[in-house]
Amino acid sequence: MLNVHERAAAIRMLVLDVDGVLTDGRLYFTNEGEELKAFHTLDGHGIKLWQRSGGITGIITGRKAALVEHRARNLGIAQLLQGREDKGDALLELSATVHLPLEAIAYVGDDLPDLGAFRLCGLAIAVANAHPFVRDRAHWVTQNTGGKGAVREVCDMLLQAQGAWDAIVAEYTGN
């Protein structure tokens, strides 16, 4: 059985849930019914670093929101599946679209609908504030909570496991 570091070293695509992973899970609505979400800049920068190192990023979410499409476009995420309650089927679809085996895909989730993807992916990751049943089924659990740096933590871990972290840091420190 592979350990987390070995699994992480084989990952080529990172797939993220939105509510509870890229956000803190709270839903905000205006009086007019417009939905609002807050995204963390650390997570966004981590995604950009992951992609700059050659990683692919995808999003699978059960809800549909134009602001998620906007955020994905802003981060250069082309693989976006919204309104998908069956996350396992959606992950299979993404795997076929990007021509990657499931073992090369990490999935980050927080609640029961994410378990279908957990069963299929090469590295199942739960955020720290995920439902306990989901945390128990993850290969790895972040220390940070969803919407508060958990995705950045995942990106950093993947980059470290793949030997890309030091070169990225050197770009910023000049070392």
Question: What is the chain's length?
Answer: 175
Query: Which pLDDT score, from 0 to 100, does residue 1 have?
Result: 62
Q: Flag whether pLDDT at 173 surpasses 90.
A: yes
| Tens of pLDDT, residues 8-58 | 999 999 999 999 999 999 988 999 988 889 999 999 999 999 999 999 999
Question: Distance (Å, rounded) from C-alpha 90 to C-alpha 84?
Answer: 7
Q: Which 8-state DSSP code applies to residue 76?
A: T
| CATH number of the domain within which 116 lies | 3.40.50.1000
Calculate the average pLDDT of the chain. 96
Pair 134, 151: CB distance under 8 Å: no
pLDDT average, residue stretch 61-88: 96
Residues with Cβ within 8 Å of 37's Cβ and at least 6 positions away in sequence, in order, are 18, 19, 22, 23, 27, 28, 65, 67, 68, 71
pTM: 0.96
**25-to-37, 72, 107, 110, 145 alpha-carbon distances in Å:** 9, 17, 17, 9, 10
- Domain with 62, as residue range(s), is 4-173
Pair 126, 142: CB distance under 8 Å: yes
Query: Which pLDDT score, from 0 to 100, does residue 175 have?
Result: 78
How many structural domains compose the chain? 1
Q: Flag whether pLDDT at 92 surpasses 70.
A: yes
